[in-house]
Amino acid sequence: KAGVTQTPRYLIKTRGQQVTLSCSPISGHRSVSWYQQTPGQGLQFLFEYFSETQRNKGNFPGRFSGRQFSNSRSEMNVSTLELGDSALYLCASSLEGGQYFGPGTRLTVT
Amino acid sequence: DQQVKQNSPSLSVQEGRISILNCDYTNSMFDYFLWYKKYPAEGPTFLISISSIKDKNEDGRFTVFLNKSAKHLSLHIVPSQPGDSAVYFCAVRSYNTDKLIFGTGTRLQVFP
């Protein structure tokens, strides 16, 4: 089976812009979670989707949003980008047991 | 407040020896525990997990031990290999959610 895929892999945006990141889970996985990794904060949970419904949400401002489609693919959106949003954004899918991560999208905000 | 702690930011081990990585958590409601290996600019790679009903799980060179009373888990790698050099994260999960709470990571270096 193909692993979790994320697009794009790298992205450079300027402050105030918005960005949409995409994640395709492993075939058959219905749960998708998003995480942000920064040097200062480590890996922080953003949100979790299951069957197109947000099941859990981390402590991030409303500028961070997401959704899941009927084929389990997921997108996350960050509006009004700030410099501090520069990070590696990771998507993970799960069926039972462990979560399997994609390679991430490296977002740089200038 | 850090719910999951890895108190050793780094660990250096000779090839062939045992590597022991430790992790402490604060909430007894966590019921599933995982270890991941991570290289820079890549996603974490799932290594091994254990549920709260067990105290040990083994997979090849990797063994995870869980001490619920102490709220402590550890990952043993034996024998350690240079290819094991990476950052290792423990993660915990509560029942009926996929939300993972990660520790701060331990950088393992295995030298020849």
CA R_g for chain B: 13
Q: How many CA atoms lie within 13 A of A12 on its CB side?
A: 1
Residues A104 and A11: beta-carbon distance below 8 Å: no
Name every residue whose Cβ is closer than 8 Å to that of residue B53 and which is 6 or more positions away in sequence: none
Percent with pLDDT over 90 in chain A: 85
A31, A37, A43, A94: best to mutate for the B interface, most B CBs within 10 A = A43
Question: In terms of DSSP bridges, do strands A105-109 and A10-13 run parallel, antiparallel, or are they unpaired?
Answer: parallel
A60 in contact with chain B, both atoms CB, cutoff 8 A? no
Query: Does position A85 have pLDDT exceeding 70, yes or no?
Result: yes
Phi/psi-derived region of residue A83, left when phi > 0, alpha when psi is between -120 and 50, beta in every other case = alpha
Residue A102, pLDDT > 80, answer yes
**How many residues in total does chain A contain?**
110
B43–A90 CB contact, under 8 Å: yes
Q: Is the pLDDT of residue B6 over 70?
A: yes
